[in-house]
Amino acid sequence: MELGQRVLFVGAKGKTGQAFSRLLLSLGYEVLAYDQNERAPYPPDLLQNNSFFVVLEEQLNLAKLSPDWLTLSPGVPLSLPIFREAQEKKIPVVSELEFTAPTVQQRFSLIGITGTDGKSTTTALLAHLLNFFSVKSLACANFGLPFSAILNEIEKYEEVRYLVAELSSFMLEKCQGLSLKQALYLNISPNHLDRYASMADYCLAKWNIYHALEEKGIFIVNQNLMPERESYLKERHPLLHPQGDKKIIEIDPDHLESRNFSWLEAWLYSKTSHSPICHESELRLRGRHNKLNILFALEALHNVLGPIGSEKLRQALKEFIPLAHRFEILPSRSGNIYINDSKATTTQATLNALANVSDPVFLFLGGRSKGENYQVLADYLLHRDIICFLYGEEKNNLAKIFQERGISFYLAPDLSNAFWLATACQKEKQQEKITYLLSPAMASWDQFANYEERGNLFKQLVAEYESSYRT
């Protein structure tokens, strides 16, 4: 890309869009910014830049705009007509990741993490562990700072050695030039099927993380995702024969065991020192799914530092504070258990949450569908003492499925109404201890700006109810 060129940026208002726009402007590019989100404004520093131009819907025309190349935010699908037109006109489309990776890799070592669920937690945990052992690290990319934001203030990160990068399937669709020291592939389940033609297409996007490994890179993978076991890929699986000196470390999700660590019931063990590290009750990270996330993070840490004493690992794990909105247990004095799992935007994530709570449960479900088949969720709910409170855009479709299967549910227009309906239901049933679980299994965009806003509302509702309960 030559300096002074015009860049058409599709989806420029988000966190990555703003950071990348600033980087491009600082390098001398003109930015033509387009975004369908009319509610969010562009920040003043961009609007005041003489090389930043806002493009409206009716102005989105390649022939008139004459961009030298296009870029896009990770959430923008490459299937949009403007990208197909760019391909026909041989106008390059370059992602933020492709543009920034070559520069970033000159300064930092990169560890990439992907999967349907648990990416952010594992990314934050690994960065925490590295920092605990004085290896300066930063969580980034899809979680934390975009690569562009790091390059915009590169002097702040002179002491950082490792970037731990959460990489979504969207980002991995265009990741040419990315070179990772380690790649972690946690899991896969149906997701984003409103964007991908099939599960195979979604899986193949994820598998790009393997091909992004450097020659001597290390691939840490859920063994159930290896091509010979991956049912979604069938004949379309990627070539996984080690290339160069790549090393593959498989983790067993069924027995919670990895090369150097294992969970024996409630105890985490080190295989190298043949000694226990900690009991699960000592950790703030809870649930079976997080035990698996811990194994991935510890194997990646081991690859950087080698064997570490059990007592030091115990202390490092104990000090990790779980991320908000991910199976976040909220304060309670009433006897109820309140869990904010707003980040659960897939059926599998909700099933993971349900597997870690005891009945009876009030489950809050709803939002905007990602194209999943919710029969799987219905099958599971049949065998539990769970009442569902359905709200939002998809509530009627869920209600139809649940009614056919005989699953107990209530309908509400939004989350607030669903919550207060649940409290009334508890009073009517005269039950003292119930788990209130917000694990929506869907995106939040029908009624919220993001999952954080949804989770914060749930926390606000819980605090209000608990306050009134105590009086």
127: in domain: yes
More confident residue, 51 or 246: 51
1: in domain: no
In what helix (H) or strand (E) does residue 87 lie, and over which residues does it extend?
A: helix 81-88
Specify whether 373 is located in the same domain as 296. Answer: no
206: in domain: yes
Say yes or no to pLDDT of 127 above 60.
yes
Q: Indicate the residue type of 202.
A: Y
The b-or-e profile of 24-54 (16+ CB within 10 A means b, else e) is: bbeeebbbbbbbeeeeeebeeebeeeebbbe
Q: Of 274, 401, 394, whose CA–CA distance to 345 is shortest?
A: 394
323: in domain: no
27: in domain: yes
Q: What angle do CA 199, 201, 202 make, to 5 degrees?
A: 65
**What digits encode the pLDDT tens for the residues 26-71?**
999 999 999 988 767 899 999 999 999 999 999 999 999 999 999 9
Specify whether 348 is located in the same domain as 391. Answer: yes
Domain encompassing residue 398:
328-470
Specify whether 30 is located in the same domain as 168. Answer: no
More confident residue, 326 or 242: 326
| Distance in angstroms (rounded) separating the CA atoms of residues 120 and 144 | 9
CATH number at residue 260: 3.40.1190.10
Specify whether 60 is located in the same domain as 79. Answer: yes
Question: What local confidence, expressed as pLDDT, does residue 58 receive?
Answer: 92
Q: Of 277, 283, 296, 329, whose CA–CA distance to 459 is shortest?
A: 329
Say yes or no to pLDDT of 11 above 80.
yes
158: in domain: yes
Last residue of a domain, one of 293, 318, 343: 318
Last residue of a domain, one of 318, 336, 365: 318
Specify whether 102 is located in the same domain as 234. Answer: yes
**What digits encode the pLDDT tens for the residues 444-459?**
989 998 899 999 999 9
Q: Of 48, 103, 94, whose CA–CA distance to 68 is shortest?
A: 94
**What digits encode the pLDDT tens for the residues 168-184?**
999 999 999 999 999 99
Q: What phi and psi values does residue 241 have, to the nearest 5 degrees? A: -65, 130
30: in domain: yes
CATH number at residue 440: 3.90.190.20
Distances (CA, A) of 126 to 85, 148, 286: 41, 21, 16
Specify whether 149 is located in the same domain as 260. Answer: yes
Question: What local confidence, expressed as pLDDT, does residue 233 receive?
Answer: 66
For the chain, how many residues are written? 471
**What digits encode the pLDDT tens for the residues 384-393?**
999 999 999 9
CATH number at residue 50: 3.40.50.720
Kindly state the percentage of the chain with pLDDT values over 90.
78
Last residue of a domain, one of 284, 318, 352: 318
Specify whether 367 is located in the same domain as 404. Answer: yes
Specify whether 83 is located in the same domain as 122. Answer: no
Specify whether 22 is located in the same domain as 170. Answer: no
Specify whether 392 is located in the same domain as 257. Answer: no
Specify whether 56 is located in the same domain as 103. Answer: no
Specify whether 275 is located in the same domain as 399. Answer: no
**Total-model pTM:** 0.87
Q: What angle do CA 353, 347, 219 make, to 5 degrees?
A: 80
